[in-house]
Amino acid sequence: MDRFVIHGGVPLRGEVTISGAKNAVLPIMAAALLTSEPCVIRRVPDLSDVRFMARILQSLGASVRFEGGVLAIQARQIQGHGDYELVRKMRGSICVMGPLLARLRETRVALPGGCAIGVRPVDLHLKGFRALGAELEIAGGYVRAAAPRLIGAEVFLGGRAGPTVLGTANIMMAATLAEGITIIDSAACEPEIADLAGFLNEMGARISGAGSPVITIAGVKELHGAEHEAIPDRIEAATFAIAAAATGGEITLRNARPDHFRAVLDKLREAGVTVERHGPALVVRPGPVLRPVDITTQPYAGFPTDVQAQMMALMCLAPGTSVITERIFESRFMHAAELARLGADISIEGPSAIVKGVSALSGAQMMAGDLRASAALVIAGLAARGATEILRVYHIDRGYENIDAKLRQLGARLERISEAGLGGE
């Protein structure tokens, strides 16, 4: 298991190019199961989650090639059994269910179970499949869905915490091959959903309204192969912007889509950070003072839960008190106790973290618990005085392409140490 050793206190400076979005690519990979023809996805980040999804598609019978950021997938003949051992390891793989049901009219996929950030039920996915006419049977930790005919329907996908991203993806994909019109109400509005709909339309689907709360899908008889370029990763872009702010540095983000993370940029500006557009690039630099801000995570276009941990790391250094409220996942504060090891002052009260800014953090050993929490620990380590060691960085490799190389390019003194104790650069 690799770890990072960071010598903090160096302001980040320079340019960084944002990779393709993991959370756009994963459902788009699943969508390639909807056709027997070849599909090509470009600007694909080289991440362990992407490689893992490729293994899942292969286990279903698809051929997958991944080279130089380009994924070629062909699902000529597939089978519909998604193994627990695979699904368990990556919750995002639940989005193979919609395409498998649509293509094969029958599928059996392991229920994914919870993960480090919460219980993460799939009841809304199942509600949607039922609405399209699928019979569902849950037994032995698997859900079997069968639908000799999928029939368009009105589906309301709003849940306790708002819409569901992968639930929307799943139902949208299943509905592309249903008979008649499907209307998804209270659909997730995330840019990744709009990107998936773009790919599906390139495959011959008839989807309108993706990116808004009401998506209409007119079913077609079959889909064909397509080529697509994934959108840039808004969470990676937000993470680098926050890292620049936390170290008091100045960086330029290339290939970012500021319109995809306005809520984060707005909070950074409120915190006193300067964010400017220079043509297609985005420049982030510190203002005269860092101010505390209150944040509540919300579905898109609100402040993303996937940036909550990173923003908490920044607020640890803002003089005054910030209140960070997590409304999407119930236990997504595991980073708070780790940040405390660097001297952060954070108390958790129900869904809120009360962060009292300290004048400086000082390096220590920390343990990464999930993907975005790991990013927060890296940001804190970059801002802290002295040496920080972050264990179990495999979590960060799931979602950040070459993060160590990208940070070094910005001047960070960060080293990856492999299990054997050799520098893994």
Near ligand EPU in 272-331, by CB under 6 A: 305-306, 328-329
Report the residue from 166, 275, 355, 366 that binds ligand EPU according to the rule CB under 6 A.
166
Q: Does 50 bind ligand EPU (CB under 6 A)?
A: no
Report the residue from 39, 56, 165, 293 that binds ligand EPU according to the rule CB under 6 A.
165
Q: Does 26 bind ligand EPU (CB under 6 A)?
A: yes
Helix (H, G, I), strand (E, B) or coil at 135: strand
What is the C-alpha to C-alpha distance for residues 218 and 214, in angstroms, rounded to an integer?
13
What is the C-alpha to C-alpha distance for residues 72 and 60, in angstroms, rounded to an integer?
15
Residue 174 makes CB contacts below 8 A (sequence gap 6+) with 98, 99, 101, 102, 128, 129, 132, 134, 150
What is the C-alpha to C-alpha distance for residues 417 and 193, in angstroms, rounded to an integer?
37
We find the least distance from the C-beta atom of residue 372 to ligand EPU, in angstroms, to be 5
CB 424 within 8 A of CB 417: yes
Alpha-carbon distance values, 262 to 145, 238, 301 (Å): 39, 10, 8
Q: Does 264 bind ligand EPU (CB under 6 A)?
A: no
Q: Does 425 bind ligand EPU (CB under 6 A)?
A: no
Q: Does 44 bind ligand EPU (CB under 6 A)?
A: no
What is the C-alpha to C-alpha distance for residues 400 and 375, in angstroms, rounded to an integer?
9
Q: Does 167 bind ligand EPU (CB under 6 A)?
A: yes
Comparing CA positions, the residue from 172, 242, 180 lying closest to residue 201 is 172
Q: Does 234 bind ligand EPU (CB under 6 A)?
A: no
CB 46 within 8 A of CB 69: yes
We find the least distance from the C-beta atom of residue 335 to ligand EPU, in angstroms, to be 12
We find the least distance from the C-beta atom of residue 79 to ligand EPU, in angstroms, to be 23
Report the residue from 399, 400, 410, 416 that binds ligand EPU according to the rule CB under 6 A.
399
Active site residue 115: yes
CB 315 within 8 A of CB 344: no
* Catalytic annotation, pick one of 39, 95, 115, 189: 115
Q: Does 51 bind ligand EPU (CB under 6 A)?
A: no
Q: Does 372 bind ligand EPU (CB under 6 A)?
A: yes
We find the least distance from the C-beta atom of residue 159 to ligand EPU, in angstroms, to be 4
What is the C-alpha to C-alpha distance for residues 18 and 253, in angstroms, rounded to an integer?
7
Of the pair 21, 153, the CB lying nearest ligand EPU is at 21
Q: Does 125 bind ligand EPU (CB under 6 A)?
A: yes
DSSP label at 318?
A: S
Tokens of 280: 């297609």
Q: Does 333 bind ligand EPU (CB under 6 A)?
A: no
Report the residue from 194, 215, 271, 371 that binds ligand EPU according to the rule CB under 6 A.
371
Catalog residues that contact ligand EPU under the rule CB under 6 A. 23, 26, 92, 118, 120-125, 159-161, 164-167, 188, 305-306, 328-329, 371-372, 399
* Residues tagged active-site: 115
